[in-house]
Amino acid sequence: MNTDIRGILTGDDSLDRACKDIPASACYHSKVNFRLNLLNGSFSKLAEQVAGPNIVIPWLLQMTGAPIGAMGLALPIKQAFSLLPQIIAAGYIRTLSLRKYVWTGAGILQTLCLLLMIPAGIYLSPLAAALAILGLLALFSTASGTASIAFQDVLGKTIDKGKRGALLSARALVGGILTIMAGIVIGKPETTESHIIYGLIGLGALLWFCSAMAFVAIREQPGATEGGRNAIQEAGAGAQHFRQYQGFRTYLYVRAMLLFAEVAIPYYVLFAHERIPSTAGSVGLFITSIGVSQLISSPFWGKLADRTSKTVMMYSGMITFLAAVTALSATLVPNDTFSFALVALAFLMVGLAESGVRLGRKTYLVDATPQADRATFTAFSNSVIGVLALATGILGVVAQHLGTHTAIIAIGLTGFAGAVMAHSMPEAEEMIKRKQG
């Protein structure tokens, strides 16, 4: 196996073995924690793709005969409910000396939510099924958002600075390999659509449970519990950081622009459906494409993020823009084969961009913030973006009335704006050194 890839997958980087940013007690377990976190991420990344709101849950809603509007709500609900409650969760998490149990509990709750979607889709009427599935998705997403706060904190406590990008890229790399394998199996034409969708949701539930078991095994050292705050106090502390640090404000502006890259895939799926027959095999095709994008981008994004995570965000914004240009070019090509190739390339590119945005923004904020205030920075930024995520639902209105190509134009332009803003963003280690003058 290539030495660089082996180092990424095992956490054994010969260039930097001494821990610099975590205590010696945590450093002793660093390799074990790296591998457990990798296992956790491999399961959860695959679960996100095989039973997520990008493709599978909207497909489930469509299959149950739910109203069209319900399908357009899946991703905004996921984004909003995973981000908005974090300002409440962060204050509570600060009171816990061991925070891995928050992620574990959230993973088990996500397992139960997915399992309950199966009887809801089979036995309820279309409208009742839609309400039940979207309600379960909201609960699922709230658990996911709470887990995100705990994850950032546990990551900062157990994995040393300079290896966090490598870990996040390794999680995406292995998840991408597994996703490709799942997509190939799913794409078999003899499998019926209902069996695929319900099978994927059941598999997703199993994967979340396995992911929770891996995370609870992480060797986390007890941390400080002082400074616990209620939601209002937590929001106030986050707002103070926003006013005080120019770099944090710029980070939030960039993340707001790149948010559209994170919700782009469903619109590219709609765009592709206009040119590819909507069959069960299409599910496998789209899932495989996402896996390929994760596979080819993860080592690059991870290494780059550990050097300069702001550049990862800048490049991801530019790829978002280029993906939109590529997709729109497909409408101008008379040859069907060439048009299909352009759509496939655009889909791959938007997957690369989404992977880069997610890895870049996570690495940036963990590296930029001190451990004592990391949960507050994370919760405040996620809650602000959660409010904005609700506004991304307007893309569904745009797509319905003005066409999917108009929504893709909007996604591309915001990606370009995010790339320009990211260029002026300070490097992570400089973020909280730039105060309001």
Say which CATH number the domain at 58 has: 1.20.1250.20
| Domain-embedded: residue 167 | yes
The model's pLDDT over 406-420, given as tens digits with 9 standing for 90+, comes to: 889 999 999 999 999
| Domain-embedded: residue 397 | yes
Of 182-196, 248-262, 328-342, 367-381, the range with the lowest mean pLDDT is 182-196
Structural domains in the chain (count): 1
| Domain-embedded: residue 99 | yes
Considering only residues 15 and 165, tell me which one the structure prediction assigns the higher pLDDT: 165
Residue span of the structural domain in which 254 resides: 22-221+228-433
Average pLDDT on 368-388 reads 79
The pLDDT score that the predictor gives to residue 10 is: 45
Considering only residues 307 and 316, tell me which one the structure prediction assigns the higher pLDDT: 316
With 50 as the cut, is the pLDDT of residue 361 above it?
yes
With 50 as the cut, is the pLDDT of residue 28 above it?
no
Instruction: Specify which residues 435 forms β-bridges with.
Output: 245
With 50 as the cut, is the pLDDT of residue 425 above it?
yes
| Domain-embedded: residue 30 | yes
3-state secondary structure the chain: CCHHHHHHHHCCCCCCCCCCCCCHHHHHCHHHHHHHHHHHHHHHHHHHHHCCCCCHHHHHHHHCCCCHHHHHHHHHHHHHHHHCCHHHHHHHHCCCCCCHHHHHHHHHHHHHHHHHHHHHHHHCCHHHHHHHHHHHHHHHHHHHHHHHHHHHHHHHHHCCCCCHHHHHHHHHHHHHHHHHHHHHHHCCCCCCHHHHHHHHHHHHHHHHHHHHHHHHCCCCCCCCCCCCCCHHHHHHHHHHHHHHEHHHHHHHHHHHHHHHHHCCHHHHHHHHHCCCCCCHHHHHHHHHHHHHHHHHHHHHHHHHHHHHHHHHHHHHHHHHHHHHHHHHHHHHCCCHHHHHHHHHHHHHHHHHHHHHHHHHHHHHHHHHCCHHHHHHHHHHHHHHHHHHHHHCCHHHHHHHHHCHHHHHHHHHHHHHHHHHHHHCCCCHHHHHHCECC
Residue 135 tokens, joined: 């309600």
Considering only residues 56 and 252, tell me which one the structure prediction assigns the higher pLDDT: 252
Residue 333 tokens, joined: 């090509």
Asked whether the beta carbons of 411 and 272 are under 8 A apart, the reply is no
| Domain-embedded: residue 110 | yes
Of 26-40, 153-167, 226-240, the range with the lowest mean pLDDT is 226-240
| Domain-embedded: residue 15 | no
Of 39-43, 165-169, 276-280, the range with the lowest mean pLDDT is 276-280
Instruction: Return phi, psi of residue 129, to 5°.
Output: -60, -45
Q: How confident is the model at residue 264 (pLDDT cuts 50, 70, 90)?
A: confident
The pLDDT score that the predictor gives to residue 190 is: 53
| Domain-embedded: residue 86 | yes
The pLDDT score that the predictor gives to residue 8 is: 45
Average pLDDT on 381-403 reads 76
| Domain-embedded: residue 108 | yes
